Amino acid sequence: MRAIELAASLGCTLEGEDVELTAAAPLETASTAELSFVANAKASAAAADSGAGCLIVPLEFSAGRTVIRSTNPRASFAQALTLLYPAPPRSGIHPTAIIDETAEVAPGVEIGAYTVVGARCRIGEGATLHSRVTLYADVSVGPRTIIHSGAVLGADGFGFQWTGEQYQKFPQVGRVEIGSDVEIGANCTVDRAALGVTRIGDGTKLDNMVHIAHNCQLGRHVVIAAQTGMAGGCAVGDRAVIGGQVGFGEKVRVEPGAIIGSGAGILSNKIVRAGEPVWGTPARPLRRYLRDLGEVSRLSSLRQQVAALKRPEPRP
> Which residue ranges form the domains of the chain, and what is each CATH number?
3-84 (3.40.1390.10), 98-288 (2.160.10.10)
Q: Which pLDDT band holds residue 116 (cuts at 50, 70, 90)?
A: very high
Q: Is the model's pLDDT at 202 over the cut of 90?
A: yes
| Nearest CA among 226, 118, 125 for reference residue 175 | 118
pLDDT tens column, 34-59: 999 998 888 888 888 899 999 999 99
Lowest-confidence region among 77-81, 141-145, 311-315: 311-315
**pLDDT value for 30:** 94
pLDDT tens column, 207-238: 999 999 999 999 999 999 999 999 999 999 99
Catalytic residues: 214
| Nearest CA among 211, 208, 239, 209 for reference residue 223 | 239
> Residue 93 has what DSSP assignment?
B
CB-based burial label for 74 (10 Å; 0-12, 13-18, 19+)? middle
User: Which residues does residue 279 pair with via DSSP β-bridges, in sequence order?
Assistant: 284
**pLDDT value for 223:** 98
Q: Are 119 and 105 within 8 A, CB to CB?
A: no
Tell which phi-psi region holds residue 197, choosing left (phi > 0), alpha (psi between -120 and 50) or beta. Answer: beta
**pLDDT value for 287:** 80
Q: Is the model's pLDDT at 297 over the cut of 80?
A: no
**pLDDT value for 118:** 98
Q: Is the model's pLDDT at 316 over the cut of 70?
A: no
Mean pLDDT over each residue of the chain, to the nearest integer: 93
**pLDDT value for 32:** 93
CB-based burial label for 202 (10 Å; 0-12, 13-18, 19+)? middle
pLDDT tens column, 247-279: 999 999 999 999 999 999 999 999 999 988 999
